[in-house]
Homo-oligomer: A and B are copies of this chain.
Amino acid sequence: MINKIKGEIERANKIALISHKSPDGDSLGSVAGLGQALMEAGKEVTLFTNDSIPGKYEFLAENNPFVQYKKGMGKEIDLLFVLDCGQASRLDYSETVLQEAKIVINIDHHMKNPNFGHINWVDTEISSTCELVLELINKLKLPLNHAGATALYTGIVTDTGSFMYDNTAPKTLRAAANLLEMGVDKDLIYRETYQSRNIQEVKLLGDVLKDLTLLFDGRVSFTSLSQEMLKSYDLDIQAMDELIDFTRDIAGVEISIVLKEMESGGTKIGFRSKSDRRVDSLARSFGGGGHEKAAGATVKTDLTETREQLIKALEELFH
């Protein structure tokens, strides 16, 4: 596998990297991290984004020359790395790049990745694509500069919740130690990704927490965000990501549920668990999916009806 990837890198003049839409720390970090290593190795490298970069990751854009992908831009690319992308459709409008580039290498850590590349390196046991990319860089003996190390650290930190999640293995901590030794500016990463809450989100959080509903003897926390609430704080449905973890992290709560009203009138449901009660089966019963401890669904019913249906489903779970 490594030799195949090595051969393709050696043969290629123009290399590009891309990741999924709605980018997170691991997708931007892996594109920038491997991109920097390939640039240092003397390759002509393009770092594609296929969506706007969220404010908290703008610091990565300062040291890494991201370029917004447009249809046709992949035609000159000899070798394309698709990173942290569980399926081709998550490339959204940028999916065309898969046909344009001569060779596609798919490197990922998501379950059920259908191996859509010519070469596929998928490790579902590893914390993050950034940790996998660091392994690749080490095996290929590529040089890693300061910007690249910072990008990879960002992805490991954000995908492990700063080493809190289950996916943190001893080797994850050792990979982070090695990156830190290269002079990663850890404080910058934390300041931008964790310590930069939006003041409007903080105020809405206050509004919501004050009247938090706990159900089933405090074992389920329930929160709803209407379009009206979001709009009155000048926020959209992407906002308030933190709420579901925050309400899970209350003593006695096993499952936290957050409902968000969509502009269409339907509802997005988020589920988190911190006990042995799985939420993926709950999410599937509403047409969604996910993992044991984090899952979600999108339904056509409004907030009130969705809530009623959820309470019925929970009654069966807790009866």
By a beta-carbon cutoff of 8 Å, the part of chain A in contact with chain B is: 55, 162-164, 166, 168-174, 176-178, 180-181, 186-187, 190-191, 194-199, 202-203, 205-212, 214, 218, 248-252, 274
Cβ–Cβ < 8 Å partners of A202 in chain B: 209, 212, 250
A78 shortest CB reach to chain B, Å:
37
SS class of chain A's interface: helix, strand, loop or mixed? helix
> Complex formed: what's the CA distance from A115 to B284 in Å?
60
Of the residues B186, B190, B198, contact of A251 by C-beta under 8 Å: B198
Are B190 and A164 within 8 A (Cβ)?
Answer: yes
Of the residues B162, B208, B214, contact of A206 by C-beta under 8 Å: B208
A200 shortest CB reach to chain B, Å:
10
A158 shortest CB reach to chain B, Å:
12
> Complex formed: what's the CA distance from A230 to B152 in Å?
43
Are A177 and B181 within 8 A (Cβ)?
Answer: no
How many identical chains are in the complex?
2
**Can you report 30 A-B residue pairs in the complex whose CB atoms are below 8 A from each other?**
A55-B251, A162-B163, A162-B164, A163-B163, A163-B176, A164-B186, A168-B186, A170-B180, A173-B174, A173-B176, A177-B177, A195-B249, A195-B274, A196-B249, A196-B250, A197-B250, A198-B250, A199-B214, A199-B218, A199-B250, A199-B251, A199-B252, A202-B250, A203-B209, A203-B210, A205-B209, A206-B207, A206-B209, A206-B210, A207-B210
